[in-house]
Amino acid sequence: MHVELDDVYNYFSRIKTGREEQGAFHSALKKKKKKKKKEMERVSSWMLVVMVMVMAVRAERNINRSEGVYWSTAEEEALAQTQTKARDDDTAVADLDADGGFSSLEGMLQWAIGHSDPVQLKETARDVEKLSPTDLSNRQVEIKQLMDELKTPSDAQLMQVAINDLSNSSLSLEDRHRALEELLILVEPIDNANDLNKLGGLVVVIRELDHSDADTRKMAAWVLGKASQNNPIVQKQVLELGALSKLMKMVKSDFAEEATKALYAVSALIRNNVAGQELFYEEAGHFLLQNIMSESSIDIRLRRKAVFLLGDLAECQLENKEKDELPFFSSRIFLKSVVDLTSSADLDLQEKALVALKNLLQLKTTEALVFKDFCGLDGALERLRQRLQDLMVEEEHRDYVMDVERLRSEVHQIFYRKLEKVTRQVPT
């Protein structure tokens, strides 16, 4: 595999000047488990990249030979920085933490780039390319050994560091946000999400829902939603810790980002979870959805999530036919708030409204005449058909518009079948 040296050099330069540290670290976290071992064993293309890390490892070994690389909390890192002393250029190679530690693997990479001469780095890369097969093999073994000494922490250890940071009441907002961002990536794999409560993380994250900073609350809700998604174990744990009512209050926030992430978390908590849905209804969740769908001034993202959640709840009701259908599903005001969404200028919102209507029409307790006479569904579907026809002339959106039209046609058929059953029963 051939790698252009200029590309490698430019890549590191962009990291140094472009402040890409979050993206690089998060990307590494996502892929670490599956690719960590393979990345260490590459022979050619990875060689030039790892060389930068080798500099960091060698410097670490010179400064602290008795201890391996470790991963510090924000508090430890801040303390270390206050203790760092200046070193002569001949004896020191970097501004490492005074106690010899890096806060993250990406921090090590940043340090190595920041304290490397660009010209020398480029020349070193060219020298590596000129190595003989034997020398290259020897260098590979050396780098492999140095990489093994990095003692890259497990996901559980990284999660524990972030949890410890969040438990620190004096932590700065910047570090608090960073810890939540790292948890957001770490809890994506289901095994990691299941470990969150064992590490004491759920209690800590739920506590952040009461933080005075709106961005902190938003991030905490996002983490809970990510961990709970399609995960009955975490759903049960979060519900038992009483987070649902907090999240539902956050949905009413004037801060759109907070409200949107809170509703995302609510949806993740109660999806395919009967116990969660019962709690949601007890907290008047159906009125919450109705208010969001009915108010055109509310952020469009929140309205999309609300009608999507409604469609999901109606589908769950269809799948559990032995359970009595909840009265609000047949409420005229509630149904009209859904039908009215089909007149929105937002095509995505229209599509989600059609999905919800498709499920609602199939419920036993919803009345075809209510849809027709009170909600005006027949007229709404016809107006939507005309708008979709106009949009089909735009080639850019044609495929998507055709999908929405097929859905609209399906809803139209279900509606008229339901209506025909009623008219056949009416005596002449």
Q: What is the pLDDT of residue 245?
A: 96
- Between CA 258 and CA 146 the distance in angstroms is 44
pLDDT tens-digit series, residues 367-424:
999 999 999 999 999 999 999 999 888 888 889 999 999 999 999 999 999 999 887 7
**Among the residues of 271-346, which ranges form H helices?**
274-282, 285-294, 300-319, 332-339
Inter-axis angle of helices 256-270 and 232-240, nearest 10: 120
- Between CA 274 and CA 279 the distance in angstroms is 9
Q: What is the DSSP code (8-state) at residue 325?
A: P
Segments of the chain with pLDDT less than 50: 1-5, 7-9, 11-27, 29-69, 85-105, 111
CB 258 within 8 A of CB 250: yes
Q: What is the pLDDT of residue 190?
A: 94
Q: What is the pLDDT of residue 389?
A: 92
Answer positive or negative: Cα dihedral of 379, 380, 385, 387.
positive
Maximum separation of any 2 CA atoms in the chain, in Å: 103
Q: Which of 168, 257, 260, 164 is nearest to 215 (CA)?
A: 257
Q: What is the pLDDT of residue 247?
A: 97
Q: What is the pLDDT of residue 79?
A: 61
Main-chain phi, psi angles of 71, to 5 degrees: -115, 120
Q: What is the pLDDT of residue 261?
A: 97
Look-up of token digits 């524990």: 160
Q: What is the pTM of this model?
A: 0.69
CB 98 within 8 A of CB 80: yes
pLDDT tens-digit series, residues 101-157:
444 445 555 545 555 566 665 666 667 667 777 877 777 777 667 666 656 678 898
Strand partners of residue 71:
102
The one-letter amino acid code at 287 reads: F
- Between CA 118 and CA 304 the distance in angstroms is 49
